[in-house]
Amino acid sequence: MKTGQYYLHLFHRKQPELNWHNPHVRGAMPDVMRFWFERGMDGFRIDVLAALIKDDAFRDNPPNPGWRKGDTPSLRQQRLYTEDRPEMRELVREMRAVADEYD
């Protein structure tokens, strides 16, 4: 059934990106981490950490002026608004604090 709704995914279409600016998402993650730590998990692998948080204004990345036909398509844009956001540091601190509870 088509709903007319969309979501962002950077990799596989069955892996939607989480909106880390949403307080419900942000508030649920420590509980998810604790759930697994309490069941004996030693840690978490977080793939593509630098791309977890996106620009909260949903701005488009600017084109990469150095990109040429034949280059990797993913480099067609400068990842100004989708990677290495300053908000990432606080998110990492929050995750680390939860992990440190289980040292």
* pLDDT tens, per residue, the chain with 103 residues: 788 888 888 888 898 889 999 999 999 999 999 999 999 999 999 888 999 999 999 899 999 999 999 999 889 999 999 999 999 999 999 999 999 999 8
Interacting residues of 79 by C-beta distance below 8 A, sequence separation 6+: 51, 61
Residues linked to residue 77 through DSSP beta bridges, in sequence order: 63
Amino acid residing at 63: P
Q: What is the pLDDT of residue 53?
A: 93
Domains of the chain: which residue ranges? 23-100
Question: Which amino acids are annotated catalytic?
Answer: 47, 101
pTM of the model: 0.79
